[in-house]
Amino acid sequence: MTTGTGEGAASPERVGKRRAAAEDDQRRHQEARADRAGAQFGSDDAEWPAFIERIGAQREAVTVTAARIAELPSYRSIPPSELVPEIRRNYAVALAALRARRLPGADEDVRAYQASGERRARQGVTLADMLQGWTIGLEVSRAGAYREAPQGKRREALLLEAIEIMTAWNTLGMNAAAAAHRRIELELARQEQHDLANVVRGVLFGTPGGQHLGDLERLGVDRGRCYYAVRVRQLGQVDPGEIECWLGTSKSPVRPDGLAALIDGDVAGFIAGRPAEPALPVTAGLAGPVPLTAMADAFRLASRALDAACATGRRGLVDLGALGLIPAILSDEDVGACMHERYVQQLERQGRAGALVLDTAERYLRNDCQVHQTAAELNVHPNTVRYRVGRFEHATGCSLRHTESVAEAWWALGLRRIRAGATP
């Protein structure tokens, strides 16, 4: 049923056509109902006004409805006296429609229903309980109609028409209230996520003066425990909620084991226990455990671990210690540029021949300078390996028999592999 809330997007001509069509439908419905009643009982329906007035005289309907709604779980904090004015208004609107024998039109004023839905959402009433409240109101109204309907042949026809009108107006109000409730729910959820992200940021980046500590108490976080800093990056289409479930920070009625939020595209936070290896397509940097007061340093290390792992194509859970010097290769750009210029660029200018020399030297260092192992992996003769290593030493002016030269060449060749998107 149209409630009038979407007309702003249509042209005046289309709105006019819709309104006219709705009015025609209502007129035809009323004419058909009158024809049926007239054919069965005669055109004069003198019992209707008295029937409706008896329904309206049932003053206890409002208090009964309020009392039943107040028993719903999320309504228990709201006194029934606060519910009565809105329920009384809804009954009055329905009673006026019954007196006029009128179904709701296409452009009814639903603002009062919307305001009611917004108010219940802000009070913490669930959508399910609110809809149940509307159902209770309709049940009480229908029960009153059954009690007051006159006996005789016309009873069923009178009841059918009255219940049809009651149901239509109840549906109009319920739909308008539900739409407003959902809108406020989304607003509150966004605000909650925003507030949570601010608290998590305060912990991970070290808010001056510990301004976030009071919020941690409110969220149930144990400030005396040690936690791991964690930062998770999705490698595919993974819902952040699945990542939070894996980390153990999803909402729970018990005291949380940490908090997480979406920060700069990553799921980041702090958790009490080291999680198991993820089954999800993610890479996660981890550091700690440390007290909350030292979380900023731990998060910096977790972020470095994550960046290094992603740069080298690693998946799963990683910490800085498991990555060796790779984070240093990535972060120290000045040293990396110098090493790259000395050990890589000259040979890269030689095209494919230079690339073969660089690949062989990199594999040779990875194999602890073992010629035969390197030759077997490259499927070449050991003398070919010796020749290419000699060319590398000549071009770069170094000797791979010297530890310092080995370290510098490994650094430069590792950076080359990372930039090419391969694991060093």
The count of other CB atoms within 10 Å of the CB of residue 30 is 14
* Nearest 10 degrees: Cα torsion 396, 401, 407, 411: 40
Numbers of helices and strands, H then E, in the chain:
17, 5
Task: Label residue 121 by pLDDT band (50, 70, 90).
Answer: very high
- Most confident option among 8-12, 18-22, 137-141, 251-255: 137-141
- Does the domain at residues 7-188 carry the CATH identifier 1.10.490? yes
DSSP 99-134: HHT----TT---HHHHHHHHHHHHTT--HHHHHHHH
Three-class SS state of 291: strand
Between 3 and 346, the more confident residue is 346
- Does the domain at residues 332-419 carry the CATH identifier 1.10.10.2840? yes
The structure's pTM equals 0.56
Looking at residue 234, its pLDDT comes to: 82
Residue 49: cis peptide before it, omega within 30 degrees of 0: no
Tens digits of residue pLDDT in 273-303: 888 887 778 888 999 899 888 888 999 999 9
CA proximity to 235, closest of 270, 271, 273, 278:
278
The count of other CB atoms within 10 Å of the CB of residue 137 is 26
Task: Label residue 44 by pLDDT band (50, 70, 90).
Answer: very low
Tell me whether the CATH fold assigned to 7-188 matches the one assigned to 332-419.
Answer: no
Q: Compute the distance between CA of residue 273 and CA of residue 275 in angstroms, rounded to an integer.
A: 6
Q: How big is the chain, counted in residues? A: 424
Task: Label residue 25 by pLDDT band (50, 70, 90).
Answer: low
Tens digits of residue pLDDT in 247-269: 877 655 455 678 888 888 888 88
Tens digits of residue pLDDT in 221-233: 777 788 999 999 8
* Nearest 10 degrees: Cα torsion 308, 309, 310, 313: 120
Task: Label residue 214 by pLDDT band (50, 70, 90).
Answer: low
Of 9-13, 161-165, 211-215, the range with the lowest mean pLDDT is 9-13
> Token pair 């000699």 is at which residue?
390
The count of other CB atoms within 10 Å of the CB of residue 34 is 13
Between 279 and 119, the more confident residue is 119
Share of the chain above pLDDT 70, in %: 84
Q: What share of the chain is helix, strand, coil (3-state, %, to 5)?
A: 65, 10, 25
Task: Label residue 62 by pLDDT band (50, 70, 90).
Answer: very high
Q: Compute the distance between CA of residue 360 and CA of residue 406 in angstroms, rounded to an integer.
A: 14
- Domain boundaries in the chain? 7-188, 224-323, 332-419
Tens digits of residue pLDDT in 367-389: 888 999 999 989 999 999 899 99
